[in-house]
Amino acid sequence: MNRTSLGSMLLTLLLLALPAGAAAPVKIGMITTLSGGGSSLGIDVRDGFMLAVEEGEQALGGVPVEVLVEDDARDVGRAIQIAQRMMQREQVEIFTGIIWSNLALATVPRIVGNGGLYISPNAGPAEFAGKDCHPGYFNVAWQNDNLHEVMGQYVTDQGHDDVYLIAPNYPAGRDSLAGFKRFYEGEIAGEVYTTLGQQDYAAELAALRDADPDAVFFFLPGGMGINFLKQYQQAGLKEEIPLYGPAFSFDEGILGAVGDAALGVKNGSQWSPDLDNAANRRFVEAFEARYDRRPSLYASQGYDAARLLGSALARVDGDIGDREALRAALREADFDSVRGDFRFNSNQHPIQDLYVREVYKTDDGSLSNRIVARVFEDHSDAYAQNCRLGND
Amino acid sequence: MLLFLEQVLNGLQLGVMLFLLAAGLTLIFGIMGLINLAHGSLYMIGAYACASTLAFSGNFLLAVAAGMAAAGVAGLLIEAIVMRRLYDRGHLDQVLATFGLILFFNEFVRLVWGARPLFLDVPGWLGGNVEIIPGAGYPVYRLLIIGVGLAIALGMWWLVQRTRLGMLIRAGATDREMVAALGIDTRLLYAGVFVLGAVLAGLAGALAGPLFSVEVGMGEHILVQTFVVIVIGGIGSIRGALAGALLVGMVDTLGRAYLPTILRLFAEPATADGVGGALASMTIYLLMAAVLIFRPRGLLPAHGH
């Protein structure tokens, strides 16, 4: 075989490989945490998102998509690097997936500043909801304070007026207690800031017992919450002082590790597996069938992110070049969210109902959450007034 | 006063937990001159093996033994495959290689056990509280940890001071070349010490499992504190590791318990809570800095060098 015929054959193969006439799929960059500590959150977001993509047979809203998933390992530098590489080499224009607020604060401005679009399936720092809001940034989960605000209201409703507060000493921890206090009306028995990543809470628990509060509100995400809940029960405090927190310490990935120490604890969330609407029933069933585990709120957020994007892609018929039209379609939020009613506020953050759930034992003996009260109806965040998007 | 006694017990408990990790780390560092960042991974393996065995067998003692055995085997493999090549190289190479091991073990654990944290609780017969101080119950399990930790400390003292192996360990910490020149098989000695350290780390992980979250990366936070312990105590010295561990456990616990309260005397409550929390997380590093200024080789350094 001579050189020319080899060359022309390769050329033919190359042409055959390109699907004739079909538009290239829309690329979606997913930067999320898939390894190391906290990876169960990223894995849930990814699996929820991919479930929607698989249901559409590699398409969202009928528009073929290609999802490029990369692991940021909870590292700010790595998240920025991935975003830059995806934008430059792969020409990705739509991004999602970041779990942690500190990663989002560093990465998202580079994406939206470059004309890209970012749909947040988890982190909702105050900056992006308020003064630094951006037409290219949508949050489909919650503003960070929301799940603490709902507990502030609920704890007040329960008649507690002397509450002990615990959170890690970092921005999201202080925001959490600020969110709680925005709606809590009683006295504060103590306010403790612990080290980020702390494992042993014996000193805090002894001081807590001594302060003898009515109730305890704690925000200790991930492993810190597991440590705290186990030790709270071991110290014999669970029977004495009721415990409240946001859903972050009670997701379905954590409950298995905490066991009975979490049983009966009330936690605030925008979603619950038993939310009674058609989209959620379908989602919970499909997720369990596909992955053989119960979905968490993070999985529901990944799923909603994909379906929000699908609704917008369908409306613009897969043409992401007209960015203004795509953003307008996203703002419509014309999809059946698994949490029922859902729409965007002027700052492109959710207006949604917020619930209090309790941890209970299911028929198969494992732990899950069920709703005990709907505390806020059509709740929005406290920062929207600082965002100038709606006013322009 | 009762509260203070309880906080002292808490400090003691944290201290002995740190000692279990620090004892192995300081021996490895002191005798082989090896910085082993993967020590926390052995702790994690101990906890995971303990959780799995407990779920499978329901026997806590067996589970703890399994945790120690798993960490020991992992230590043996690490020593034979990786560490043996690093003894003669610089600290930077060792840090790079053992940092790589952390990543490897985190992913390995995630592949085998999944990303979700595991369940591991105090067994029923060790649950509950005893009124060791009248009026304030103290968890039986934490008392058990104190007991086991102090027993291990005693055992280590006997091993190092009273046995032939201990003599070699002390000699190795003082002058490595001379021990080799006297015809001691240092390869065997190093492997033995490394595995001993690994087994102790596995024990710490297995005992810590019911208190802490058994999850990927669980060893990294405690590893930092462990390094502080051995720097304060004096590298290579078991007595130093014990003194450093108890000191760090006590200072950390009492700092967390009382600093915000003390600051409230001088500042507004909101400021005091914030600053107190921040200061409390720094106390052990401030302690380390102070020790390094006044006793650069640690409180109870190994002899020689």
pLDDT digits (tens, 9 = 90+) for A82-131: 999 999 999 999 999 999 998 999 999 999 999 999 999 999 999 999 99
Q: pLDDT at position A36, please? A: 73
- Spatial contact of B202 and B46, defined as CB atoms under 8 Å apart: yes
Q: What mean pLDDT comes out for the span A210-239? A: 91
**B112 — contact with chain A (CB < 8 Å)?**
no
Q: What is the DSSP string of B75-140?
A: HHHHHHHTGGGTTTS-HHHHHHHHHHHHHHHHHHHHHHH-SSPBP----GGG-SEEEEETTEEEEH
CA distance B71 to B39: 10
CA distance B109 to B71: 13
Amino acid letter at B164?
Answer: R
Please give the angle made by the CA atoms of A257, B204 and A253, to the nearest 5 degrees: 15
Cα distances from A159 to residues A144, A156, A185, A244, in angstroms, run 25, 5, 10, 13
3-state secondary structure B145-166: HHHHHHHHHHHHHHHHHHCHHH
Strands (E), chain A: 26-32, 59-60, 63-71, 94-96, 117-120, 137-139, 162-168, 187-194, 215-218, 243-246, 266-269, 343-344, 350-361, 367-379
Query: SS3 for A74?
Result: coil
ipTM score = 0.87
CA distance B223 to B40: 5
Q: What mean pLDDT comes out for the span B78-98? A: 90
What's chain A's Rg over C-alpha atoms?
22
pLDDT at residue A4 greater than cutoff 80 = no
pLDDT at residue A372 greater than cutoff 60 = yes
Q: What mean pLDDT comes out for the span B219-238? A: 89
Q: pLDDT at position A289, please? A: 96
Q: pLDDT at position A5, please? A: 59
Q: Which residues contact B90 (CB under 8 A, 6 or more apart)?
A: none
Among A134-138, A154-158, A224-228, A288-292, which is the least confidently predicted range? A224-228
**B133 — contact with chain A (CB < 8 Å)?**
no
| Closest Cβ opposite residue B117 in set A203, A254, A293 | A254
Cα distances from A382 to residues A145, A170, A270, B4, B96, in angstroms, run 8, 20, 16, 41, 46
Among candidate residues A344, A354, A352, A353, the one with its CA nearest the CA of residue A387: A344
- pLDDT range class, residue B160, cuts 50, 70, 90: confident
DSSP letter for B301, please.
P
Whether B119 sits inside 8 A of A259 (CB atoms) is yes
Length of chain A in terms of residues written:
392
Q: pLDDT at position A304, please? A: 97
Residues 160-179 of B with CB under 8 A from A: none
What are the pLDDT digits (tens) for A46-73?
Answer: 999 999 999 999 999 999 999 999 999 8
Percent of chain B with pLDDT over 90: 53
| Residue where the block lists tokens 């280590």 | B156
**B218 — contact with chain A (CB < 8 Å)?**
yes
Q: Which chain A residues are Cβ-neighbours of B213 within 8 angstroms?
A: 199, 222-227, 230, 257
CA distance A93 to A116: 5
Q: pLDDT at position B138, please? A: 87
**B257 — contact with chain A (CB < 8 Å)?**
yes
Q: Which residues contact B2 (CB under 8 A, 6 or more apart)?
A: B133, B134, B135, B136
Q: Name the residue with higher pLDDT: A314 or B273.
A: A314
Tokens representing A196 are 């980020």
Q: Which residues contact A263 (CB under 8 A, 6 or more apart)?
A: A359, A360, A361, A367
Tokens representing B179 are 């021990």
- Spatial contact of A305 and A338, defined as CB atoms under 8 Å apart: no
Strand-pair partners of A191:
A165
First to last CA, chain B: 45
What are the pLDDT digits (tens) for A27-48?
Answer: 999 999 998 777 889 999 999 9
Tokens representing B6 are 């309880």
Q: Which chain B residues are Cβ-neighbours of A193 within 8 angstroms?
A: 273-274, 276-278
- Spatial contact of A176 and A246, defined as CB atoms under 8 Å apart: yes
Å between B29 CA and nearest CA of chain A: 25
Tokens representing B53 are 């065995």
Other Cβ atoms within 10 Å of B57 Cβ, number: 12
Whether B142 sits inside 8 A of A202 (CB atoms) is yes
pLDDT at residue A182 greater than cutoff 70 = yes
Q: What mean pLDDT comes out for the span A142-150? A: 94
Task: Suggest the residue from A188, A199, A239 to mutate for an interface test with chain B (most B CBs closer than 10 A).
Answer: A199
Q: Is B153 exposed, middle or buried (0-12, 13-18, 19+ CB in 10 A)?
A: buried
What are the pLDDT digits (tens) for A198-211?
Answer: 889 999 999 999 89
Q: pLDDT at position B121, please? A: 85
Q: Which chain B residues are Cβ-neighbours of A226 within 8 angstroms?
A: 117, 212-213, 215
Strand-pair partners of A58:
none
Q: pLDDT at position A170, please? A: 82
pLDDT at residue A134 greater than cutoff 80 = yes
Q: Is A39 exposed, middle or buried (0-12, 13-18, 19+ CB in 10 A)?
A: buried
Residues 27-66 of B with CB under 8 A from A: none
pLDDT at residue A19 greater than cutoff 70 = no
pLDDT at residue B219 greater than cutoff 60 = yes
Instruction: Please give the model's pTM, rounded to 2 decimal places.
Output: 0.86
- pLDDT range class, residue A20, cuts 50, 70, 90: very low
